[in-house]
Structure 1
Amino acid sequence: SNAPLYFKRIPVLYDPVETDFVLKSVGFCQSDDVDVGMYMFMVEFYHLYILLRAAFLCFKTRNIHDAFSEGKHFRFAILSQCQIFMIGIPLLMFMGSNPEENLFVFVETCMTWLKDLTLLG
């Protein structure tokens, strides 16, 4: 059983005159039992596994004639996906302890957008 979520608010900016008065704060839901880092690791590990499996299939079909294969296009898509992972995952790991959740969500959204754009483009 998972522990219920509770809302945690962190003060970011205090009033310079009234030091007990909070001007800006950031809040997010969390739980003591749920490890969000492990969840994100499993999701990104799954994505990486899919990319490596696709790269392996492209490698296996590299000698098929171009008229019957689109392996080159897949290789470019896989390469761009791997580049996004190589830049985005360490960036998300560094930002994981940052209480500014909006920036974390923005970077994660940009990663997803770039991954989808390279597949559709």
Structure 2
Amino acid sequence: EGMDVVSFASSAGPNNQQVITEQQLSTLFSNVEEILEANQKFLLSLRQLGFEWTNNPQHLGEAIKKHIPPLKKSYMTYATNFYHAQVFLLSLLEETKPGPLMSYITRWEKEVIKIDMSPLLSYLILP
């Protein structure tokens, strides 16, 4: 769902044309898949605790101690790359002859903007 742009960007475009290089993909999306995985593991851990933590808060503390370091590392990497992602996205938006990736992003932005009115750059703020 949330990874559709990443999936599209990493696949071949029309006529098996490369949509984006691995370096561009890394610059634009950084480690967003790593962040998703870390958050899913943390959520699963919290769900497994269920309501146990009300009777034994130590379990909640243990889950937080276990999952916060990987989350912190992932978000630090993302935050460090944020400026480069913005610069790259702005360069794509300013292209006079858009390629397949920009065509897709433009179409995606028009659809999403109708829903919440946020500009595309705002989606880079948090993964």
Specify which structure has the bigger relative contact order, considering alpha-carbon pairs within 8 angstroms and separated by 6 or more residues: 2
Q: Which has the higher Rg, Structure 1 or Structure 2?
A: 1
Tell me, yes or no, whether TM beats 0.5. no
Q: Normalised by the shorter chain, which TM-score bucket?
A: 0.3 to 0.5
TM-score with structure 1 setting the length? 0.35
Which structure shows the bigger proportion of residues in strand conformation?
1
TM-score with structure 2 setting the length? 0.34
